[in-house]
Amino acid sequence: MRDGSILIIDDNKAVLSALEEVLHLQFAHVKTASNPNLISGLLEEYPFDIILLDMNFSAGQHSGNEGMYWLRRIRKTDPSVSIVMMTAYADIELAVNALKEGATDFVMKPWNNEKLRATLKAAGLFSRSRKEVSQLKLKEKQLKASTLQRRSILHAPESPMADIMKLVHKVAQTEANVLLTGEHGTGKGLVAQALHEASKRKQEALITIDMGAVSESLFESELFGYLKGAFTDAREHRAGKFEAADQGTLFLDEIGNLPLHLQTKLLVTLQNRTICRIGSNQPIPINIRLICATNRDLERSVSEGLFREDLLFRINTITIDIPPLRDRPEDIPYLSDFYLKKYIEKYGRKQLKLNQAAQRKLQNYQWPGNIRELQHAIEKAVILSESNILGPDDFIFRVEPAPDPDDSPDTLEEMERKMILNALKRHAGNYSAAAEQLGISRQTLYNKIKKWNEL
């Protein structure tokens, strides 16, 4: 099956005819040219996957300088296209220099037809991989640009978050791996965003993966990508999240929920800094800044055999602990004002205000769900309030009493919740072990807990 497109540039028309004959069954579109000055115009007319480029065009020239010149020009015009250099004069140093300048591969004249086809097939896969990653990054940037209200880390000048943000900006200037710890809803995702935007990689994408939400069966395809036909539903080539994050930042949220056997695969990838798509043996180099987050005590998990110690060493060059909202009540007025403005705009309640009594009630509450709970409380009050003033009665909190072992749950929902909490406690927070005890999938368990945190 013919697939992809190739542009062949060589001053020898007999060579062009021979190559066109060899490659027309492999490629859906084959274009030839004997004059390299036509390259720029041809690239504007058609998006080629591969360019097969001769190293010498002038009679008596064997240095390869002409080919190197056009290699650089093409790389500036279209960084995603794969360029395979071709010459009749074997020179290892010249080949190495071409690869350093961005060439994908190097072939010699006279060529072996089968080897040439194999080289160009690999170059085509590499080109499509680059284009897919570029499209993913473009979508990520467009999504960020379309956000009407940027998320912010708001805090009082005397808040513990002030010192944390100083550390964030200091660490952001380095390439150190960062581990963010803290309870659910404390803003670890916002801190990861702040780290990225203060770093040298801020012009590239920040790619986030919720490790607790990725099923074990989809782990490799989500993170590493796959080739068309690699498995039943693989109907097209697809880049994974690691490729999408290349040159940017990869944020692995809820990394403490990753099962041991998948921790091993992640560790190997972080050590080698390469990935292989499912269905391919060709390693793809990756250059990422790694940020991880968890609400679990990973050192305890290591001692209990639930988390790899070598992976913990790899991800926590710097550890930043985000305090819960109850330990920084001075931040609540800043946060409540931010979310009030956000939902006033969203729901068209421009006359709505928060009175001092309501603000005091918000500051005195313990916020077990942290910032996420505060956000939802403000949104709910804005939606339901029939007055233009939000008072204390507009905020009704569900304060759960201390658990009583003799207290029988009144509803099926309460019974389910109690069983899940007991299972998690018994297995020290290990989602996989708790799910196995309960007879449900790990994904179902994660979804139930996530739903509770969003109530």
Output the 3-class SS for 9-38.
Answer: ECCCHHHHHHHHHHHCCCCCEEEEECCHHH
Residue from 414, 411, 391 nearest 403 by CA: 414
Q: What is the DSSP letter of 215?
A: -
**Pairing outcome for strands 284-285 and 353-354:** unpaired
Residue 262 burial class via C-beta count within 10 angstroms: exposed 0-12, middle 13-18, buried 19 and up = middle
Residue 79 burial class via C-beta count within 10 angstroms: exposed 0-12, middle 13-18, buried 19 and up = exposed
Q: Where are the domains of the chain?
A: 5-130, 160-323, 327-394, 412-454
Specify the pLDDT at position 453. 58
With beta carbons less than 8 A apart as the criterion, state whether 89 and 58 touch.
no
Specify the pLDDT at position 323. 94
E strand or H helix at 284: strand 284-285
Kindly state the average pLDDT of the residues 64-85: 87
Tell me the residue length of the chain: 455
pLDDT tens track for 357-412: 999 999 999 999 999 999 999 999 999 998 999 999 999 886 544 444 445 556 77
With beta carbons less than 8 A apart as the criterion, state whether 48 and 24 touch.
no
Q: Identify the band that residue 24 occupies on the pLDDT scale cut at 50, 70 and 90.
A: confident
Cα(272)–Cα(243) distance, rounded to whole angstroms? 14
* Phi, psi torsion values for 239, nearest 5 degrees: -80, 145
With beta carbons less than 8 A apart as the criterion, state whether 136 and 244 touch.
yes
Specify the pLDDT at position 236. 74
Residue from 388, 384, 380 nearest 353 by CA: 388
pLDDT score of 147 more than 50: no
Kindly state the average pLDDT of the residues 310-339: 94
pLDDT tens track for 161-196: 999 999 999 999 999 999 999 999 999 999 999 999
How many Cα atoms occupy the beta-carbon half-sphere of 402 within 13 Å? 0
The CATH class of 412-454 is: mainly alpha
Least confident among 65-79, 85-99, 140-154? 140-154
Q: How many CB atoms lie within 10 A of CB 68?
A: 18
pLDDT tens track for 220-276: 888 998 887 788 777 777 788 998 899 999 999 999 999 999 999 999 999 999 998
Rg (CA), the chain: 28
State whether the Cα torsion 226-230-232-236 is positive or negative: positive
Q: Which amino acid is at 174?
A: T
Residue from 214, 172, 176, 174 nearest 193 by CA: 172
Task: Write the CATH number of the domain with boundaries 327-394.
Answer: 1.10.8.60
Q: Which amino acid is at 37?
A: N
With beta carbons less than 8 A apart as the criterion, state whether 228 and 187 touch.
no
Looking at domain 5-130, its CATH architecture is 3-Layer(aba) Sandwich (3.40)
Specify the pLDDT at position 152. 55
Cα(187)–Cα(48) distance, rounded to whole angstroms? 44
Q: Which CATH number fits domain 160-323: 3.40.50.300, 3.30.365.10, 3.30.950.10, 3.40.50.150?
A: 3.40.50.300
Cα(9)–Cα(145) distance, rounded to whole angstroms? 40
Expressed in angstroms, the distance from the first to the final Cα of the chain is 53
Same fold flag, 5-130 and 327-394: no
pLDDT score of 341 more than 50: yes
Alpha helices in 173-246 (DSSP H): 188-197, 219-224, 241-244
With beta carbons less than 8 A apart as the criterion, state whether 205 and 244 touch.
yes
Q: Identify the band that residue 330 occupies on the pLDDT scale cut at 50, 70 and 90.
A: very high
Specify the pLDDT at position 398. 66
Q: How many CB atoms lie within 10 A of CB 246?
A: 21
Crossing angle of the two packed helices 160-172 and 188-197, in degrees rounded to 10: 40
pLDDT score of 143 more than 70: no
Q: 283 or 377: whose pLDDT is higher?
A: 377
* Phi, psi torsion values for 226, nearest 5 degrees: -160, 165
* SS3 label, residue 243: helix
pLDDT score of 139 more than 70: no
Q: 423 or 26: whose pLDDT is higher?
A: 26
pLDDT score of 41 more than 60: yes
Cα(2)–Cα(322) distance, rounded to whole angstroms? 54
